[in-house]
Amino acid sequence: MSIKENLEHINAKIAEAAKKSGRKREDILLLAVSKTVEVPRIKEAVDLGLLDLGENKPQEINWKYFEIENVRWHQIGHLQTNKVKYIIDKVCLIHSVESLKLAEEISKRAKAKDITMDILIEINIAGEEAKHGVPLGEAEALAVEISKLDNIKVKGLMTVAPFVENPDENRQYFAQMRKLFVDIRDKNYNNIDMKYLSMGMTNDYEAAIEEGANIVRIGTGLFGARNYTKN
Ligand SMILES: *Cc1c(COP(=O)(O)O)cnc(C)c1O
């Protein structure tokens, strides 16, 4: 299937899932995950209106940024502290903040560029050993610590749910994410603006939206299978 056909299919599914949770298609951001995808194919997606692109590796954002214009880049994969400097002035949102140390580096680098960087706290919702993110129970305290730093703003939560055959198995995790998202939002902390709940990928985005996601990150479903399985 072409990217266009894939997108039409996904848009219909997003609209349906949004409706089930009392929202509209426009309330959900479809983030096109372009990691490992070649520039011409990414441009095809951009021409179809996908202006938010997600990448795992800072190195990849670092060169694609100059090849593809007028889009918004999102850092969605694990970010090492020493790589922050490569992307600080190239991305609009960092989805994968999981430590105060990383947040301090983002704050410092953002300050040097005179910008404020929006970030999400990444949660390891199922406590999987191979996954990044903080435990659910530590996310609020981390968000509060980060909110005290300059030039960085907590805008929500992100998770990568377990890989499962049946996406319904992840609903419990998405619901836990949603609950914490609302809890933190309702406390109205200074300098925390709970706007984005980033969860759901090709295999489970409909369940994620039904449980409250407003950003879904989709790679394979749009561009087809990647050449390698890692990532
Ligand atoms: C690769 C990746 C995705 C997209 O995964 P698909 O299953 O291809 O849709 C989403 N989020 C993160 C953090 C990723 O690394």
Q: What are phi and psi of 86, to 5 degrees?
A: -75, -25
Q: pTM for the full model?
A: 0.97
Q: Which atom of ligand 1 is nearest to the CA of 205?
A: 9
Q: Which atom of ligand 1 is nearest to the CA of 95?
A: 13
Task: Compute the average pLDDT of residues 15-35.
Answer: 98
Question: What span, in angstroms and rounded, lies between the C-alpha atoms of 169 and 199?
Answer: 14
| Whether the CB of 231 sits within 6 Å of ligand 1 | yes
Question: What span, in angstroms and rounded, lies between the C-alpha atoms of 188 and 54?
Answer: 28
The residue whose two tokens read 């991305």 is 91
Amino acid (one-letter) located at 42: I
Determine contact, residues 189/229, Cβ cutoff 8 Å.
no
Residue 130 has pLDDT above 70, yes or no: yes
Q: Which atom of ligand 1 is nearest to the CA of 77?
A: 13
Residue of 78, 158, 217, 226 to test ligand 1 pocket, by largest number of atoms within 8 Å of CB: 217
Question: What span, in angstroms and rounded, lies between the C-alpha atoms of 69 and 76?
Answer: 19
**How high is the pLDDT of residue 228?**
57
Q: What are phi and psi of 16, to 5 degrees?
A: -65, -45
- Tell me the pLDDT band of 212, cut-offs 50, 70 and 90: very high
Name the helix (H) or strand (E) containing 80. Answer: none
| Whether the CB of 6 sits within 6 Å of ligand 1 | no
| Whether the CB of 77 sits within 6 Å of ligand 1 | yes
Span from the CA of 94 to the centroid of ligand 1 (angstroms): 14
Residue 230 has pLDDT above 60, yes or no: no
Collapsed DSSP state (helix, strand, coil) of residue 122: strand
